[in-house]
Copies of this chain bind each other. A is one copy, B any other.
Amino acid sequence: MGGMTYRDAGVDIDKKMAAVGGIGGLVRSTFTPGVLHDLGSFGGMFSGRFPKHEDPILVATNDGVGTKVRTGVRAGRLRGLGHDIVNHCVDDILVQGAEPLFFLDYFASSVLEPEVFEEVIQGIAEACRNAGAALLGGETAEMPGVYEPGEFDIVGCIVGVVDRKAVWPRGVAAGDALVGVRSDGLHTNGFSLVNRLIERDDLDLTVDPGSLGESLGDALLRPHRSYLPAIRAVREHLDIHGLAHITGGGIQDNLPRVLPEGVGAQVDRASWKPNPVFDFLIERAAMDRDEAYHVFNMGCGLIVIVDGEKAEAAVSALGEAGEEAWVLGRLVEGEGVAF
A residues contacting B by CB (< 8 A) are 1-6, 8-11, 13, 17, 36, 40-50, 53, 55-64, 66-67, 69-70, 92-93, 95-96, 98, 101-102, 104-106, 108, 136-139, 141-148, 151-153, 155, 157, 159-161, 167, 190, 192-193, 195-197, 245, 248-249, 253, 257-258, 285-288, 291, 294-295
Would you call A55 and B49 a contact (CB within 8 A)?
Answer: yes
Would you call A42 and B106 a contact (CB within 8 A)?
Answer: no
Q: How often does this chain occur in the complex, in copies?
A: 2
Also in contact, A43 and B67, with CB within 8 A (given A142-B192, A144-B192, A286-B3): no
Would you call B45 and A6 a contact (CB within 8 A)?
Answer: no
Contacts of A57 in B (CB 8 A): 36, 45-48
- The dominant DSSP class at the A interface is mixed
Would you call B58 and A196 a contact (CB within 8 A)?
Answer: no
Q: Can you identify 26 A-B contacts, CB atoms within 8 angstroms? A: A1-B286, A3-B285, A3-B288, A3-B291, A4-B197, A5-B288, A6-B294, A13-B294, A41-B257, A42-B61, A44-B61, A45-B59, A48-B48, A60-B102, A60-B159, A61-B104, A62-B157, A63-B106, A66-B141, A69-B143, A69-B146, A139-B155, A146-B152, A147-B148, A148-B148, A157-B157
Would you call B257 and A42 a contact (CB within 8 A)?
Answer: yes
